[in-house]
Chain A
Amino acid sequence: MRKVISFIFLQVVLSLSLSSFLFGQQGSSFIEFSSGVGTTTFRDLATSPLFYNGASYTFTGGLMRVGSKTESHLGCSYSFGMNTNNFNNTYKSATFYSLDINYYRLYRVNRLTSGRWNTKVGANILNTTNIRENEAFMNNSLGVENILNIMAISKVTLSVPRVKGRVVKVLFFRKNLKPAQRELSFSLAVGALNLNYRPGYAYNYLPQITGSEIKNFSDYQLSVNGFRIQSKADYTHYLFNGNALKLSYLFDIYNAPGKYEPFHFVRHSLQLSFLFNYR
């Protein structure tokens, strides 16, 4: 019953967020596509005391609306990679897939906004589902967890426009740089309510795999504990047609202790985004 209530709660929150996003505010609207590369490190103490490191690749799609007073973003991000541990020459590898769905809404803080600086604060809802597979753990090879965080988020943006055009020469290359709107921003989100849905005491649960009467996740436990911090530094370059290019560095760290043993995760990712202005 608790699982059903949690699921309904999540759906309601996301639906309200979406309707608010679509109908609620003024500013420029963008469709965002991005891809990125980075590194992930995780450790699931229920199965191993060792950290697994590896490269990860991320693809993101989203809708973003940016105004001087408010900003909102609804996005979905898929990451995958291969993480390994070779401590003591005992090479083990784990495939890793992750799906993030997030929505945030920010409001300008007038006291911290002046001139080229704009500071906004708001709330971020972030849901992450991880699927990991490490064959060395035999019946525990499959690790699945869901992590939901309701986060306080702040974003500081510095406008750094190129007011006048200029010419750049590098060796034989010559480039005319036209005036352009550019922004540097840094956002920091800290989990205020951290929920996780993790395996039960023994990690594996026999009724889940005994044949035709499969009860998936029947031993999973919902917990309210842990933390999550996500920070992002963006450089955004607006083009003459209203579209934009964005280069981002994302740092994401969380701890999902669950009821019994914690799951730790860290990601560094460099992402390039294309923002298509549609309104």
Chain B
Amino acid sequence: MKRILYILVLASVLTSCKDLLFEKELASTDPFVNFDYLWKEVDSKYAYFELKNVDWDKLREIYRKKIYSRMSEDSLFNVMGSMLNELRDDHTNLVAPFNVSRYNAYLKGRDNFEYRIIKDIYLKAGEYTTESFRHGPLPGANIGYIRYSSFMNTAGEGALDFILDKYKNTKGLILDLRENGGGNFSNIPRILSRFITSKTLVMYNRTRNGKGRNDFGPFEPFYISPSSRIKYIGKPLVVLIDRGSYSATTFFALASKAIPNITLIGDKTGGGGGLPNGGQLPNGWTYRFSISQSYDLNKINYSEDGVNPEIFCELNWWDLRKDDILERAILFINSR
């Protein structure tokens, strides 16, 4: 009987030992606790303090003064969201049940895209919708126009086969990535692999790996291998970009610079050259921010602020009978 008692006591102690064995419960709605937690997470993992010349310690001083113990959740959100916006990074957001903070990089430049112009003027004979792509031949130009509005939508191999086969006899292709806000990275090599003939190094990446703000892991090369399916080789591909081209589209633009027959036309991309990670605060809100950097082949890091086009061009909103950026792309292909 004594032995059974020992066993029962041991069993009950063990089953209640979660709180003894783990660190304390960290859930809290205290504004100071949440502010400090967020500041520290960003401090220990954010990737672009130096490139963006952000004094994160000073920002802590400025914004922590705005915190007080009985502030409303809305006020706390506004203070912490404003602090994150100082990073000038659309991969950095604070997400509460009632609001999401955003920097809105695309608003820092001009709007350069209106699909209605494309549809009314250039594709008025009709357009194809092949999975995630809308496309059609440009009238009188022997050039194929392809609109890919979001990397969130899969660039299917079958769709790419159909499109590249349809335009195989054209002089060139225009891939319109304006206002493409990004999405799934795996679509980048899937598309670009159709425009190369050999394995190509397109960029380098490195990821934060220590508490020091300049602690990063090694430069990791990013290669793209040629597709074994239908390709479009030896003819120009023009990629249209603007400030609304963000994240995966910035990566795409950066990678395009390493491929000789691709030319970027339009405005600088919005940036977003870092991979955002995500997490949760002690009060249950979530956040994300960039933890990696992307570099061109010369190991220069500029993509976070945007990738410049080879040919700069803007839409003239005073004359909506034509898309100036598309017209410049047609001119470029015809000149080759």
Please give me the residue from chain B that is nearest to A158 by CB atom.
Answer: B4
Contact B277 A49 (CB under 8 A): no
Q: Does B97 make an interface contact (CB < 8 A)?
A: yes
Binding-face segment, A57-65, A68-76, A97-105, A195-203: A195-203
Q: Does B209 make an interface contact (CB < 8 A)?
A: yes
Binding-face segment, A1-9, A12-20, A87-95: A87-95
Distance between Cα atoms of A181 and B177 in the complex (Å): 74
Contact B223 A51 (CB under 8 A): no
1/0 per position for B1-32, CB-CB distance to A under 8 A? 00110010011001101100111011101000
Using a CB–CB cutoff of 8 Å, the interface residues on chain B facing chain A are: 3-4, 7, 10-11, 14-15, 17-18, 21-23, 25-27, 29, 37, 45, 95-97, 185-186, 188-190, 193, 205-210, 217, 220-225, 251, 275-286, 288, 291-292, 294
Distance between Cα atoms of A47 and B291 in the complex (Å): 13
Binding-face segment, A125-133, A138-146, A271-279: A138-146
A140 touches which one: B188, B225, B278, B281 (CB < 8 A)? B278
A210 touches which one: B4, B29, B185, B210 (CB < 8 A)? B185
A-B contact list, 8 entries, CB within 8 Å: A139-B288, A207-B222, A210-B189, A212-B190, A219-B217, A253-B14, A255-B22, A268-B15
Contact B224 A212 (CB under 8 A): yes
Given contacts A90-B285, A206-B292, A213-B223, contact A47 B280 (CB under 8 A): yes
Contact A48 B279 (CB under 8 A): yes
Contact A207 B220 (CB under 8 A): yes
Grouping DSSP codes into helix (H, G, I), strand (E, B) and loop, the A interface class, with mixed when no group exceeds half, is mixed
Binding-face segment, A23-31, A227-235, A237-245: A227-235
Q: How far is the CB of B82 from chain A (nearest CB, A)?
A: 20
Interface centre among A117, A137, A201, A219 (most CB of B within 10 A): A201
Given contacts A211-B185, A231-B11, contact A202 B277 (CB under 8 A): yes
Which residues from chain A contact B217 at a C-beta distance below 8 Å?
A: 200-201, 205, 219
Using a CB–CB cutoff of 8 Å, the interface residues on chain A facing chain B are: 41, 43, 45-51, 85-90, 92, 117, 136-141, 156, 158, 186, 188, 200-207, 209-213, 215, 219, 227, 229, 231, 233, 251, 253, 255, 262, 264, 266, 268
Contact B278 A47 (CB under 8 A): yes
Which residues from chain A contact B207 at a C-beta distance below 8 Å?
A: 200-202, 204-207, 219
Contact B22 A43 (CB under 8 A): yes
Distance between Cα atoms of A89 and B125 in the complex (Å): 52
Distance between Cα atoms of A19 and B55 in the complex (Å): 62
Grouping DSSP codes into helix (H, G, I), strand (E, B) and loop, the B interface class, with mixed when no group exceeds half, is mixed
Which residues from chain A contact B281 at a C-beta distance below 8 Å?
A: 49
Q: How far is the CB of B26 from chain A (nearest CB, A)?
A: 4
Which residues from chain B contact A227 at a C-beta distance below 8 Å?
A: 21
Contact A211 B189 (CB under 8 A): yes
A209 touches which one: B15, B185, B283, B291 (CB < 8 A)? B185
Q: How far is the CB of A202 from chain B (nearest CB, A)?
A: 4
Interface centre among A90, A141, A264 (most CB of B within 10 A): A90
Contact A233 B11 (CB under 8 A): yes
Which residues from chain B contact A268 at a C-beta distance below 8 Å?
A: 15
Distance between Cα atoms of A117 and B280 in the complex (Å): 50
Contact A85 B278 (CB under 8 A): no
Interface centre among A138, A210, A215, A255 (most CB of B within 10 A): A210
Contact B18 A41 (CB under 8 A): yes
B97 touches which one: A49, A90, A231, A264 (CB < 8 A)? A90
Contact A231 B222 (CB under 8 A): no
Contact A231 B14 (CB under 8 A): yes
Which residues from chain B contact A140 at a C-beta distance below 8 Å?
A: 277-279
List the 9 closest A-B pairs by CB distance, nearest first: A90-B284, A211-B189, A49-B26, A48-B280, A138-B278, A137-B278, A202-B291, A212-B189, A207-B220
Distance between Cα atoms of A86 and B4 in the complex (Å): 39
Which residues from chain A contact B26 at a C-beta distance below 8 Å?
A: 49-50
